[in-house]
Amino acid sequence: MKPPLFTLHEDEMTFTAIRAQGSGGQNVNKVSNAVHLRFDVPASSLPDGIKARLLALSDQRITADGVVVIKAQTSRSLEANRVDAIARLHALVHSVSVPPKARKATRPTYGSQQRRLQGKATRGQVKALRGRVGGVE
C-alpha cells in the first residue's frame, strides 16, 4: 500500500467544544461534548494540487473562504468526537488526493453509427404513418 500523498497537521486544525443537538436527556443540556473542527485550506501545508481540488468541491462543509467546518457529535465523549472529526477530514482530503484521469477522446465505431442511423430511420417511418389516412377532401 502506498503512503498517503499528504499529511494533516493538528496544529493547523482548530477545535471548539459545543453542545450537541438532539436527544440525550439532561446530559446533552449540561455538557459540551460535540466538536467543531475548522481547517483553513488556503493556509494549510497541503500540496497546491490537493488544495485546488478541495476548494473546487461543491461541498456544504467548505465555506466561501476555503475553511472546512466539520461537526462531530455522534459520541458522548469529547475525545471520541474529536477523533471522528479528524477521521472525516482525512476522508474528505483523501477523496481529492488522487487527480482524476484525463478523458481520452474516442470515435464511435462504424457499427454503432449504422445502428444509430437504422434506429432513426425506423422512428421516422413510424412517425410518417401517423398522418391522415387517404387523400379524401
Mean pLDDT by 10 residues, the chain (137 residues): 70 88 70 89 89 90 92 89 94 89 94 97 93 70
> What contacts 9, CB < 8 A, 6 or more positions away?
44, 45
pTM above the 0.85 mark?
no
- Dump pLDDT digits (tens) for 80-102: 999 999 999 999 999 988 888 99
| Span between the terminal Cα atoms of the chain, in Å | 80
Domains of the chain, earliest start first: 10-95 (3.30.160.20)
Nearest CA to 66 among 45, 40, 93, 97?
40
